[in-house]
Amino acid sequence: MVGYGSGAEAIPCRRLIIHILHALAAIGWHIHISADLTKKQWDKDSLFFKSGPPLQRYFFSITFNESDKVRIIDSPSETVTEAFKTVVAVRPRSL
């Protein structure tokens, strides 16, 4: 579906959100909560921010694709990547 961050757009869309969150934190806007307000299949989630001191934060993305795929995008370190792989390998399939 075009424009929904899927297919060839999936990773670039997630990287864009990561960079936006990083830029906002650097000027003092921090993610407070995310919410799926309507609970419909093709709707968009909402992000709510609060103001505070500017901070340098590192954001990365974990995605759940289909029913059996999990992906980490732009991990901050190899340690985080290895921990992620370990959790995915031992997690119950119901997660």
Q: Any idea where the domains of the chain sit in the sequence?
A: 1-54, 60-95
Tokens coding 72: 């980490």
The reply to whether the predicted model has a pTM over 0.85 is no
pLDDT attached to residue 20: 94
**Based on the number of CB atoms within 10 Å of its own CB, is 5 exposed (0-12), middle (13-18) or buried (19 or more)?**
middle
- Note whether 62 and 71 are within 8 A (CB): yes
Region 44-69: what's the mean pLDDT? Answer: 87
**Percent of the residues in the chain that have a pLDDT greater than 70, as a whole number:** 88
